Amino acid sequence: MHVGEALKHGATREEIAEALGVAVAMNAGAALVYSARAMDAVSQHSG
Work out the mean pLDDT of the chain and round it to a whole number.
88
Contact status, residue 10 vs residue 46, Cβ threshold 8 Å? no
Q: Is-contact 22 10, C-beta < 8 A?
A: no
10-residue averages of pLDDT along the chain (47 residues): 89 94 85 89 86
Q: How many domains does the chain contain in total?
A: 1
Q: How far is residue 43's CA from residue 4's CA, in Å, rounded to a whole number?
A: 10
Q: Give the pLDDT confidence score for residue 1 in this predicted structure.
A: 62
Q: How far apart are CA 45 and CA 6, in angstroms?
A: 10
- C-alpha radius of gyration, the chain, whole number: 10
Q: Please give the residue range of the domain that contains residue 26.
A: 3-46
Q: What is the pTM of this model?
A: 0.77
